[in-house]
Chains A and B, each alone.
Chain A
Amino acid sequence: MSPWLVLAGLGVFHGLNPAMGWLFAVALGLHRGSRRALWLSLMPIALGHAASVAVVVAAVVALGFVVELHWLNRAAGLLLIGWATWQAFGGHRHRVRVGMQTGLAGLGLWSFLMATGHGAGLMLIPVVIPLCLAAAPAQELTAQGSLPLALAAVGVHTAAMLVTIAVVATAVYEWIGLAFLRRGWINLDYLWITALAASGLILMI
């Protein structure tokens, strides 16, 4: 499958998770009685997510220039499996730093922390390594070559995530209503942990 499609697909997956921000946008819209508050919230949520993912992508690409690809894959695989294990067996409760009175900057920070804590960027590593670090035949691996690809990867992922949170938040705010949460909020953590662990395994093999 095209790595770009996978990146976009992961963007949709992350966007669907209420813990990644669409629910916060709905809550702020309801709390302030304003559709505008909902729409305004989406941008910092997406930016915070993008920043978190970008940190991971940048780190991986930078390491790719100094570490052999084989070892980078192994190390990243271990990290992902470790993160999945930590998510599965603890580390659920953290300091809550941002509440319902937050401004847009606080919302961006919140989104950054949520994406980072959940390992959103880590999930992208199996796509990012081959995409940004595999030198094409007869072409050497260069920063000039990798940087635009890395930026595009973050961009595609974030765009898909933003579209998803916009669609879900609007649908819940305008039509579905919050009662849906009582039955419809399935435990995405299970799926998430599985996805992290699977990504880790892909890297190890």
Chain B
Amino acid sequence: MASWRPDPSFYPSPRMAAKAKPESLAYVAAFDPDRSKPDAIAVVDVDPASATYSQIVGQVDMPNTGDELHHFGWNACSSCLCPNAPHPHMERRYLVVPGLRSSRLHIVDTKPDPRKPSIVRVIEPEEVAEKAGYTRLHTTHCGPEGIYVNALGNAEGKAPGGIFLLDPESFDVLGQWEMDRGPQQLAYDFWWHLGHDTMITSEWGTPDTFENGLVPEVLLGSKYGRRLHFWDLHKRKHIQEIDFGEEHQLVFELRPAHDPTKAYGFVGCVISLKDLSASIWTWYRDGDKWAVKKVIEIPAEPADPSLLPPVLQGFKAVAPLVTDIDLSMDDRFLYVSCWGTGDMIQYDVSDPFAPKETGRVRIGGIVSRAGHPGAKAAALNGGPQMVEISRDGRRVYFTNSLYGAIDPQFYPEGIDGWMVKLDVGENGGIAFDDKFFVDWPKGHRPHQVRLEGGDCSSDSYCYP
């Protein structure tokens, strides 16, 4: 597996990565909400010069049903060039694909033909539970000690959720990552500041509170996650907890600045119990502590209750439901998915404490059902959800499903999957690419997108 030169998709710094050539393929996780046929990783042609542009040109099915593919990541990335733990001669080749519901881990080989990926190893949930003590596998990142995978439940499916390590060459489960977890119990996302030796984790809830859909009592009782946790990345020790307060529920996707000298990042909070608004928070270094500040608040939109799903009828408003965010490689633009209202908003976050809106499109949405120039149907359901940005920041891709059991709570008639692409202006501004609308094949819903060679949430860097 070792090569003579570093993998050409590894870049020392985000500045260099932003000059990478445009991607030609996207890998997209697709799952069957009915759990009757296998989930899959689909390969979408994203090369505008290709005859099969915006079409699914390949697919690898999982060996079982009911995995609920969700997030996934690469076996190796630019962090392999870090000076303290150099492994530059790895290949970015394998996708690490966990099943969120099944807790099964799949290793997918994207070579020799990147359009025909194949499964080379399956690690059964029993093995993960035995060796790492975790289930409900969620997000993966390639990093200094190998492949990090987080999980929302322990071996019994209860708290604490946490992180475990996977050997990046053999893919053997190495064991639990945390050496001292302090007060941390709930898990959702994780990432790090390699330049500041800091891991950050966020919170959703225990599997029993989401696997059959969100539980209104848990939500209204502020019992879902509302904290950030900061860790010493190398001592693997919990160092600080920040509570967003009772009002805030579901602290989700973490997007640290790509520039390793910067010690700040952004996290989305899905919903406020006070007014259904969603919010974006900046975490930052304040003296010798970490601190947070709410920098964006996206209000709920008043709506006719007859157009709302039962969970929202009493509120007479549609919540924005910010379920994913993503930060461009130059740390300039933050993209915010409002899965409820159907907006995808672009903010200039050059000043991380004073974001300015620079673009907005609407597609789908609980009430708006906004269309797309490339779609056959006039009204679309689902809303902007998992969002991914090309390394050069000129293209943004997103899909419309959140989670099998939660989709029908907000879109009761079900979700017809789609994937779309935005073109980004030189100085901001976003617009749909009319020619890119993937009408997702019935029976599957698309979730996370990963771009060939890396994207804005796959790699981390040690050099500015």
Contact = CB atoms under 8 A, between A and B. Distances in A.
Nearest to A181: B12
A30 interface: yes
Q: Determine the main DSSP class of B at the interface with A.
A: loop
A28 B193 CA distance: 15
A189 B89 contact: yes
Q: Which 8 A-B pairs have the closest CB atoms?
A: A99-B197, A24-B83, A178-B12, A23-B83, A27-B83, A96-B144, A96-B85, A101-B197
Interface of B: 2-6, 8, 10-13, 16, 81-89, 144-146, 167-169, 194-197, 233-234, 260-261, 462-464
15 contacts: A18-B86, A19-B86, A27-B463, A31-B463, A33-B261, A96-B84, A100-B196, A100-B197, A102-B197, A110-B84, A181-B12, A182-B10, A183-B5, A187-B2, A187-B5
A102 B85 CA distance: 13
Given A99-B84, A100-B260, A30 B146 contact: no
Contacts of B167: 93
B265 to A, nearest CB: 16
Contacts of A96: 84-85, 144-145, 234
Contacts of A190: 2, 4
A95 interface: yes
Contacts of B145: 93, 95-96
A182 B196 CA distance: 24
Given A30-B464, A100-B462, A101-B196, A186 B87 contact: no
B8 A93 contact: no
B250 to A, nearest CB: 30
Interface in A1-40: 18-19, 23-24, 26-27, 30-31, 33
Contacts of B82: 27
Given A31-B462, A179-B16, 14 more contacts: A27-B84, A27-B463, A93-B87, A93-B167, A95-B145, A96-B144, A97-B234, A98-B84, A98-B234, A99-B194, A100-B196, A178-B16, A186-B4, A187-B88
A100 B81 contact: no
Interface in A21-62: 23-24, 26-27, 30-31, 33
Nearest to B7: A182
Given A100-B194, A110-B84, A179-B12, A31 B234 contact: no
Interface string A170-190: 000000001101110111011
Interface size grouping (class) on chain A: 20 to 34
B224 to A, nearest CB: 32
A92 interface: yes
Interface string A68-98: 0000000000000000000000001101111
Contacts of B87: 92-93
A27 to B, nearest CB: 4
Nearest to B3: A187
* B4, B8, B89, B144: most-surrounded residue (chain A CB, <10 A): B89
B461 to A, nearest CB: 10
Given A100-B196, A181-B6, A187-B2, A23 B260 contact: no
Contacts of A182: 5-6, 8, 10-12, 16
A30 B145 CA distance: 23
